[in-house]
């Protein structure tokens, strides 16, 4: 039991370290691209964020586990929040084309990355069943 | 200006989150001091590397290069230099700690040598690291933060925020929190240094432009001397008395600075991490690949490049650079740089508080103090030490700097008792104690704090700081080792403590060298001596021109001393690997360590009059010594002592 919780903490420290160093750096590069109106620079930032995600998944594989519930909630929550900000900014009309494409690159890449992760981890059918089963169980419960 | 407070706030919240996680994992106060000796090996490896090299790589090396150029190339070998004592001592110290079931250097010294004096020296070194050495680095970061906020955040406020965060996680989570957070902070520190260096190179216009700038400085007769070491030795009276010809960076200055760096891994601060680790499996990998490899590369490549950029363009040192880049980057980089400094600051605060309470206060003044009471008192000591550091940063920065300069040379003096404990068993107790006394005197008589104190007392010595361009660490060690060897020769018949006798027998049996190791012994000695000679010793003279003299064509495109340092960093990594694995000096262990029986404890209470009188006398002497020390410190800080710089 003690060993299990120790392993859990070790994994959490690694994940935290990866996001604090690489993830925030990627975010910085992404914002720098938007500030300078350079799509290519923002794309580099997106690739750093994707690399961070890949590092996260590698750590998960080493510890033979998936994303924790908290991580998934935080990730999806942040994605949704930033997506809303992006949509609001687009409607507001204050974005340059480079900003617009940078945002699309970020959200598009993360969405595709998320699907690829699900398919790679659970298989094509399993990825779908991941949601499908849940609904089936809910309907059975009712 | 929203990014820095935002990042800082997120960082503080997450720091406190990890402190809470550590406190929950601790379960109760019993494990606050040692994390139940269960820190994973990989975590300790990163923590040790971060604590010993973080602040040095981010602040000291770039700043020294930017202001003094390549005259002190020994600094660039910091990764290998720091890994060397790790390979020599860590495995054996860890084994002794397991055998005697002890978790701090002060306790080990007290039990092995039966010496209160050595325990006090160890505690003193820890306090110097906590209050002054780390305090000085925090002050430097405070200036950067004040610049970043355009003066909105005064230096004192930044120091207070640092102290709040440090006290917060150390008090809550103890050694475990330091382990958890130290790992995160170390990696963030590395990332920040790499990021800042990339910004510096981009700002200057690329590596080509940087090298052109260096070449221009090398060709200028006014600055070309700074690209080379200034001879083997210069018999000057020392800093503050007589300036060296050219600059102070002679070969012996480099070599003796290398000795001072060796002190870091012999300090109670770093050995605390070793003694809190669950196994010795990761020592070899930690010292070879993490410290000498990754962190060594960081120093020689990134800190070197950042320093070179600062040399070419003074606005590209850490402070001005962070003010010039985008706010989200500067906030991220500042938090990372802060992390690099906080690893050592948090750890040393903890170790100093533990040493003061467990090694000094409890055995001498309050033996019946419970574990819970000891932890509570140590927590209070952490707060007090942090406050003293903040006050010194604000009120007495000169004294802070003078005392901080003593931390490494005094820690280096601990090499002799550690050698006696782990390798050179014919060093006797009385010899080690006498040697340590002379070593401390040697350091104090050749460094700024000691000279200032003597000057205050009316004794003006005819030399200044680091006479003959030799660092105080080397002067101290010269006195220390000479006296220890001499006294040992005459005191061989004196018996050692039962714990010392058992430890020697145990190490001899447990670590009996294989035939292969015995055959390679002379090769190992040769490799280490050759590396020292060429990388940080007289061989540095070859480095002046090996890849092109300062005012000539540079074969590698970079200054010859820098290329020399890169070459010997790679060779040094090979030497560390050889010692750690082939010589089995830090190789993993398979067997469990049987505990010493009976477990060492404090000498029992006795009711006879002699014992009570002795205890009172000891308390009186200690109180007098502490009072005298405080009086001298106050005089040094606020009196007009004419501290030579």
For residues B354 and A118, the model is more confident at B354
**Which residue of A lies nearest to B180 if distances are taken between CA atoms?**
A13
- A38's CB contacts (< 8 A; 6+ apart) are A98
C-beta atoms of B183 and A13 within 8 A? yes
Q: Has residue B394 got a pLDDT over 70?
A: yes
For position B77, what pLDDT does the model report? 96
Residues linked to residue B277 through DSSP beta bridges, in sequence order: B39
Band (pLDDT 50/70/90 cuts) for residue B196 is very high
Q: Has residue B569 got a pLDDT over 80?
A: yes
For residue A74, how many other CB atoms are within 10 A of its CB? Answer: 13
Tokens of A94: 């204050």
* A to B CB pairs, distance under 8 Å: 48
Q: What is the pLDDT of residues B616-626, one digit of tens each?
A: 777 788 788 88
CA distance A120 to chain B (A): 29
Q: How many CA atoms lie within 13 A of B419 on its CB side?
A: 20
C-beta atoms of A35 and B326 within 8 A? yes
Q: What is the pLDDT of residues B205-220, one digit of tens each?
A: 999 999 999 999 988 8
C-beta atoms of A6 and B180 within 8 A? no
Q: Is A9 on the interface with B (CB under 8 A)?
A: yes
For position A1, what pLDDT does the model report? 59
Q: Has residue B315 got a pLDDT over 70?
A: yes
Which of B23, B375, B26, B270 has its CA nearest to residue B168? B23
Q: What is the pLDDT of residues A26-64, one digit of tens each?
A: 999 998 888 888 899 999 999 999 999 999 999 998 998
Q: Has residue B602 got a pLDDT over 60?
A: no
For residues B411 and B116, the model is more confident at B411
For residues B360 and B476, the model is more confident at B476
Q: Has residue B640 got a pLDDT over 70?
A: no
The interaxial angle of helices B327-354 and A24-36, nearest 10 deg, is: 160
For position B36, what pLDDT does the model report? 84
The minimal CB distance from B332 to the residues A12, A13, A24 is found for A24
B401 vs B202, B276, B409, CA distance in Å? 33, 30, 14
d(CA B410, CA B169): 28
**Which residue of B lies nearest to A35 if distances are taken between CA atoms?**
B326
C-beta atoms of B187 and A21 within 8 A? yes
For position A128, what pLDDT does the model report? 66
Q: Has residue B645 got a pLDDT over 50?
A: no
The minimal CB distance from B40 to the residues A10, A20, A35 is found for A10
Q: What is the pLDDT of residues B63-78, one digit of tens each?
A: 999 988 898 999 999 9
The minimal CB distance from B191 to the residues A5, A25, A27 is found for A25
DSSP code of residue A142: -
Predicted structure pTM score? 0.90
C-beta atoms of B329 and A32 within 8 A? yes
**Which residue of B lies nearest to A33 if distances are taken between CA atoms?**
B326
User: Is the ipTM reported for this complex over the cut 0.90?
Assistant: no
Per CB-CB distance under 8 Å, the chain A contacts of B329 are: 28, 32
Q: Has residue B324 got a pLDDT over 90?
A: no
Q: Is B538 on the interface with A (CB under 8 A)?
A: no
CA distance B353 to chain A (A): 26
Q: Is B578 on the interface with A (CB under 8 A)?
A: no
Q: Is B21 on the interface with A (CB under 8 A)?
A: yes
Q: Has residue B531 got a pLDDT over 80?
A: yes
Q: Is B3 on the interface with A (CB under 8 A)?
A: no
For position B534, what pLDDT does the model report? 96
d(CA B56, CA B188): 15
Tokens of B472: 């105080």
Q: Has residue B487 got a pLDDT over 80?
A: yes
Q: Has residue B368 got a pLDDT over 90?
A: no
What's the whole-number mean pLDDT along residues B87-94?
95
């Amino acid at each position: 039991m003690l060993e299990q919780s120790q392993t859990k903490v070790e994994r959490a420290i690694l994940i935290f370290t990866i996001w604090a160093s690489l993830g925030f750096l990627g975010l910085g590069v992404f914002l720098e691209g938007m500030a300078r109106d350079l799509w290519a620079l923002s794309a580099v930032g997106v690739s750093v964020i994707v690399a961070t995600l890949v590092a996260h998944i590698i750590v998960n594989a080493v510890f033979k586990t998936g994303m924790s519930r908290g991580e998934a909630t935080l990730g999806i929550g942040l994605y949704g929040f930033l997506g809303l900000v992006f949509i609001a900014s687009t409607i507001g009309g204050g974005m340059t084309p480079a900003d617009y494409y940078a945002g699309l690159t970020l959200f598009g890449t993360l969405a595709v990355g998320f699907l690829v992760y699900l398919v790679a981890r659970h298989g094509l059918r399993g990825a779908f069943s991941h949601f499908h089963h849940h609904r089936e169980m809910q309907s059975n419960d009712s | 200006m929203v990014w820095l407070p935002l990042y800082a706030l997120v960082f503080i919240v997450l720091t406190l989150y990890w402190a809470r996680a550590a406190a929950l994992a601790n379960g109760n106060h019993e494990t606050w001091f040692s994390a139940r000796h269960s820190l994973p090996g990989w975590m300790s490896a990163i923590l040790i590397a971060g604590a010993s090299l973080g602040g040095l790589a981010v602040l000291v090396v770039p700043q020294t290069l930017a202001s003094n150029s390549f005259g002190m190339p020994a600094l660039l070998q910091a990764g290998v230099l720091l890994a060397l004592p790790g390979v020599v001592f860590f495995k054996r110290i860890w084994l002794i700690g397991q055998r005697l079931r002890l978790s701090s250097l002060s306790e080990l010294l007290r039990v092995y040598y039966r010496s209160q004096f050595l325990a006090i020296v160890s505690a003193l070194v820890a306090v110097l690291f906590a209050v002054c050495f780390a305090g000085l680095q925090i002050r430097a970061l405070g200036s950067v933060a004040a610049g970043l906020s355009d003066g909105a955040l005064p230096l004192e406020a930044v120091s207070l925020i640092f102290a709040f965060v440090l006290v917060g996680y150390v008090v809550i989570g103890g050694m475990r929190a330091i382990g958890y957070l130290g790992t995160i902070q170390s990696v963030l520190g590395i990332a920040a240094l790499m990021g800042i260096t990339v910004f510096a190179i981009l700002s200057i216009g690329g590596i080509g432009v940087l090298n052109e700038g260096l070449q221009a400085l090398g060709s200028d007769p006014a600055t070309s001397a700074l690209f080379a070491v200034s001879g083997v030795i210069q018999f000057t009276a020392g800093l503050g008395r007589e300036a060296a010809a050219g600059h102070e960076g002679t070969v012996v200055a480099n070599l003796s600075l290398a000795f001072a760096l060796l002190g870091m891994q012999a300090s109670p601060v770093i050995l605390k991490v070793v003694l809190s680790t669950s196994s010795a499996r990761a020592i070899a990998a930690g010292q070879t690949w993490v410290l000498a490899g990754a962190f060594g590369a960081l120093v020689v490549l990134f800190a070197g490049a950042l320093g070179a950029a600062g040399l070419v363009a003074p606005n590209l040192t850490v402070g001005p650079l962070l003010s010039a880049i985008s706010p989200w980057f500067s906030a991220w980089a500042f938090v990372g740089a802060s992390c690099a400094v906080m690893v050592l600051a948090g750890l040393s605060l903890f170790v100093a508080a533990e040493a003061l309470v467990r090694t000094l206060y409890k055995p001498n003044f309050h033996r019946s103090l419970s574990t819970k009471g000891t932890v509570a008192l140590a927590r209070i000591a952490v707060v007090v030490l942090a406050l003293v550091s903040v006050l010194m940063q604000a009120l007495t920065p000169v004294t802070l700097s003078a005392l901080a300069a003593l931390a490494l040379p005094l820690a280096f003096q601990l090499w002799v008792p550690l050698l006696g404990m782990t390798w050179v068993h014919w060093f006797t107790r009385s010899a080690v104690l006498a040697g340590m006394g002379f070593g401390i005197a040697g350091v104090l008589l050749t460094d700024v704090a000691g000279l200032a104190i003597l000057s205050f007392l009316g004794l003006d010595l005819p030399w200044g700081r680091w006479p003959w361009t030799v660092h105080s660490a080397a002067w101290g060690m010269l006195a220390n080792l000479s006296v220890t060897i001499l006294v040992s020769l005459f005191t061989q018949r004196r018996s050692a403590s039962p714990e010392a006798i058992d430890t020697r027998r145990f190490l001899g049996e447990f670590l009996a060298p294989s035939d292969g190791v015995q055959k390679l012994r002379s090769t190992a000695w040769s490799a280490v001596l050759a590396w020292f000679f060429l990388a940080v010793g007289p061989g540095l003279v070859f480095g002046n021109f090996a890849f092109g003299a300062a005012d000539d064509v540079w074969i590698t495109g970079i200054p010859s001393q820098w290329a020399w340092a890169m070459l010997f960093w790679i060779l040094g990594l090979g030497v560390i690997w050889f010692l750690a694995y082939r010589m089995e000096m830090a190789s993993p262990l398979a067997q469990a360590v049987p505990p010493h029986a009976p477990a060492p404890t404090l000498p029992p209470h006795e009711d006879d009059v002699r014992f009570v009188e002795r205890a009172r006398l000891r308390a009186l002497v200690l109180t007098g010594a502490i009072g005298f020390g405080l009086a001298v410190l106050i005089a040094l800080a606020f009196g007009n002592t004419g501290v030579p710089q």
